[in-house]
Amino acid sequence: MKKRNPYLTVGLVMTGILTALIVLGFFWTPYDPNAMAAGPKLTGPSLAHLMGTDSFGRDIFSRVLKGAGTTYGIALCTVAVGAVCGTVLGAVTGYFGGIVDDVLMRLGDVLTAFPSILLALVVISLLGPGKTGNVILALGLVFIPSFARMARGTYAGLREVNYVKSARLMGASSSRILWRHILPNTWSVLLPALTIGFNNAVLAEASMSYLCIGVTPPDASLGYMLSESQGMFMSAPWYALGTGLTLVWMVFGVGLIGEGLQRRGGGEV
């Protein structure tokens, strides 16, 4: 009888709880997240305000629910853009090789030579700050090379295995081989990479919003809320703690899922 994978179990529980709260926040919050004077200014946690209030009297718990939803959604969309585009590019270049492979991989080397957050800042400055769509596009473009490189290595290693050769001899088209025969055998590598990409996207979005070039008011974002709370850490530490712990919970939970998937893929239980 196999033992449970504690990393995967705890990660799924943590992420499930937070996801449930985020979904709840889309439909209901105790107070309007942007409502001024929802309670007395700078009051500590209580039954009326679970995480206290900020300097405008806004309910921090309501804002954390909305902010976590914004950060979570941006991270998911970013990983989707990077994973889909990167996997397609990596699959084609890894399977066919040739001059296209050399050109795209060298271009990827140039992009990965820059720190991802710096490259995202350049892209967002060109597209315009403050818009969620621009943040997703900027971060998605930044994440494409890492997924492309991962997919390329996997496809290059699998293109000469027996089941691929057999499919090729039986007349299967290249597209069928790419997506029906090879892709299902890349999930053990792709799934942990998705969790890492998600956490990187969460931290990148939070960093950009903290610098006030990502999501900006009136939309709530965990990064921008951390920036707001910095100036009142001594007078209202619950603001920074509530926001920061939510961000840590999100990253830690997904990180445990990734660790669990890697251990399961490596044969550990």
Q: Mind listing the pLDDT tens digit for each residue in 38-81?
A: 778 888 888 888 888 888 888 889 999 999 999 999 999 999 99
42: phi then psi, degrees, rounded to nearest 5: 55, 45
Q: Which two tokens stand for residue 60?
A: 């921090």
pTM of the model: 0.87
Query: pLDDT tens for residues 143-188?
Result: 888 888 888 888 888 887 888 888 888 887 878 888 888 888 888 8
**Torsion angles phi and psi, residue 53, rounded to 5:** -130, 160
CA distances from 49 to 41, 46, 57, 245, 266 (A): 11, 5, 10, 17, 45
CA distances from 66 to 25, 155, 210, 217 (A): 6, 40, 16, 12
- What are the structural domains of the chain? 6-265 (1.10.3720.10)
- What's the pLDDT at 202? 92
Distance CA 85, CA 88 (A): 5
Q: How much of the chain, in percent, has pLDDT values that exceed 70?
A: 96
Q: Which amino acid is at 100?
A: V
